[in-house]
Amino acid sequence: MQVVDWNIIIKEHGPVVWQTAYRLLGNDADAADCFQETFVCALELSRRQRVRSFPALLIRLATTRSIDQLRRRFRHERIGTNGHNQLEGSNNNTDPVQYVQQQELAARLRIALTQLPLQEAQVFCLRYVNDMTYRLIANELGITTTAVGVILHRAKTKLRRFFKASIKEPRSEVVL
């Protein structure tokens, strides 16, 4: 059985888990929930099997948990049961117009990611949000690097279609 010092794991890898969750979710409360779920899931998984790479595992878990959280959020917003219709965050930009545009784009990307199949959303986020290589993604997901490329291509094609459609018909779910 693998002996793991979770205090060290959390100290070393906690910041990247937080960044992953926050980038995808856009607010502290959801990122905190995702952070906890990620480490609980990693703990349970490490009790069942040997973990080859804690950084890769934690990023994958944080990405998956964040996508699940986004899906729940937008499902609840559609039926009017969730108060998360504004993106939180600090305005670090000096140009307010640019800040609003970035927030709107981030909100649309979050919505679009919930429309993708889980594996496509995962691969897209691991590659472009977490800047993981094809090889690392393939190793973590147990697929080939060729499959990563194919999945990524499909995800980008669907996201392009989503954004083209959202330009023609602005989505009412995006509220700033």
Q: Who contacts 52 (Cβ-Cβ below 8 Å, separation ≥6)?
A: 139
Q: Is the pLDDT confidence value at 78 over 60?
A: yes
Q: How distant, in Å, are the alpha carbons of 2, 24, 84, 114 from that of 164?
A: 48, 21, 25, 16
Mean of per-residue pLDDT scores for the chain = 85
Counting Cβ atoms within 10 Å, is residue 35 exposed (0-12), middle (13-18) or buried (19+)? Answer: buried
Burial of 114 (0-12, 13-18, 19+ CB in 10 A): middle
pLDDT value at residue 80: 57
Q: List the Cα angle 66/71/76 in 5-degree steps.
A: 125
Q: Looking at the chain, how many residues does it have?
A: 176
The model's pLDDT over 15-50, given as tens digits with 9 standing for 90+, comes to 999 999 999 998 899 999 999 999 999 999 999 999
Return the ∠ at Cα 156 (arms to 153 and 161), rounded to 5°.
Answer: 125
Span 117-141, pLDDT tens digits: 999 999 999 999 889 999 999 999 9
Instruction: Say what the pTM is.
Output: 0.71
Going by pLDDT thresholds of 50, 70 and 90, the confidence category of residue 64 is: very high
Give the angle subtended at the CA of 152 by the CAs of 19 and 17, to the nearest 5°: 15
Identity (one letter) of the amino acid at 15? P
In the chain, the domains with their CATH numbers are 6-168 (1.20.140.160)
